[in-house]
Amino acid sequence: MMDWLAALTAITQREALRFIGQRGRFVAALVRPMLWLVVFAAGFRAALGLSITPPYATYTTYEVYIVPGLCGMILLFNGMQSSLSMVYDREMGSMRLLLTSPLPRWWLLVCRLLASTAISILQVYVFLGLAALFGIRFSWGGYAALLPALVPAGLMLGALGLALSSVIRQLENFAGVMNFVIFPMFFLSTALYPLWKMAESSALLRDICAVNPFSQAVELIRFALYQQLNAAALAWVLLSGLVWLGLAVWGYDPERGLIRKAGKPG
């Protein structure tokens, strides 16, 4: 058991040290949501009226509405980037090194997932700190209640990245993942517009948004910021997270998985 914890600690430390070393990645991860908050949301404020729906008890400005979605965006980008980076050319080597550890493979994958989620959560709090400087603040209780919501949400999105990294052959191009995974997940969710707003344009669109696990992660975060538990969202996040983790473990299983397809024949 001590071996298992030693591996978890080492993998988390490595992720943290690498992250600190890559300041560009840190800045990019913060600039993206800040642009949405300061530029996009400010412009949209006048165009979009929001009605009072839970968890909001009073009229809410668009900047406040969009914050949970942007927290989710950080988790989504980071989860994808960290997991997919494992199969980039140079990273493939370090992934192979990881897989030669005598610990169970599923545990090694879970360690990677926990480590990258910890880094994502740190970024979310830095983002919330910056947002507070722009006057978008939540209660201290909300910030505290957010933490237990970010953990399953981050793990779920990281697991998605991990599952994708095991089954997709060509990953040199992050743009492909942006176009086919990140953008659809982000735009077809409640990150930018509430469900009822989506329903005004199309019932189908609303249904897609409702079942999108990213929506559920965003709603879990949104309710947590107001110290409320959205149990349905939590259940949906946990369920989809387990499915993706299962897929990832299957994908990296040397007997059945598809990792060999990502490997270089020769």
Partner 1 sequence: MTGLRVENLSYAYGARQALDRVSFRVEPGTFCALLGPNGAGKSTLFALLTRLFAAPQGRIGIAGHDMARAPRQALRQMGVVFQQPTLDLDLTVQCNLSYFAALHGLRGARAQARIEAALERLEMRGRLGERVRDLNGGHRRRLEIARSLIHHPKVLLLDEPTVGLDAATRRAITAHVHDLSRRKGLTVLWATHLTDEIDDADQLLILHRGRLTEDGTARQLRGGLGLADHFLRLTGEAA
Q: Which residues bind partner 1 (CB under 8 A)?
A: 2-3, 6-7, 9-11, 13-14, 17-18, 21-22, 89-90, 92-94, 96-104, 108, 254-255, 257, 259-260, 263-266
Chain CA centroid to CA 74, Å:
6
Residue 227 to residue 230: CA distance in whole angstroms: 10
Block residue for tokens 């600190």? 20
Q: Rounded to the nearest whole angstrom, what is the least distance from the CB of residue 18 to partner 1 in the complex?
A: 6
Q: Is 138 helix (H, G, I), strand (E, B) or coil?
A: coil
**CB of 256 vs partner 1, minimal distance in Å:** 9
Nearer CB in complex with partner 1: 115/224? 115
> Could you report how far apart the first and last alpha carbons of the chain are, in Å?
38
Q: Which is nearer to partner 1, 47 or 255 (CB)?
A: 255
Closer Cβ to partner 1, 7 or 233, answer by number: 7
Q: How far is the CB of 260 from partner 1 (least distance, A)?
A: 4
Smaller CB separation from partner 1, 17 or 35: 17
Cα 34 to chain center, whole Å? Answer: 16
Nearer to partner 1, 76 or 109 (CB): 109
The two structure tokens encoding residue 147: 């933490």
Tokens of 141: 């209780």
User: In whole angstroms, how close is the CB of 19 to partner 1 at the nearest point?
Assistant: 10
Rg (CA), the chain: 19
Least CB distance to partner 1 at residue 14 (A): 5
Q: How far is the CB of 117 from partner 1 (least distance, A)?
A: 19
Q: What is the rounded distance in angstroms from the CA atom of residue 31 to the CA atom of residue 10?
A: 29
Of the pair 81, 212, the CB lying nearest partner 1 is at: 81
Phi then psi for 151, rounded to 5 degrees?
Answer: -60, -55
Cβ burial of 93 (10 Å; 0-12, 13-18, 19+) is exposed
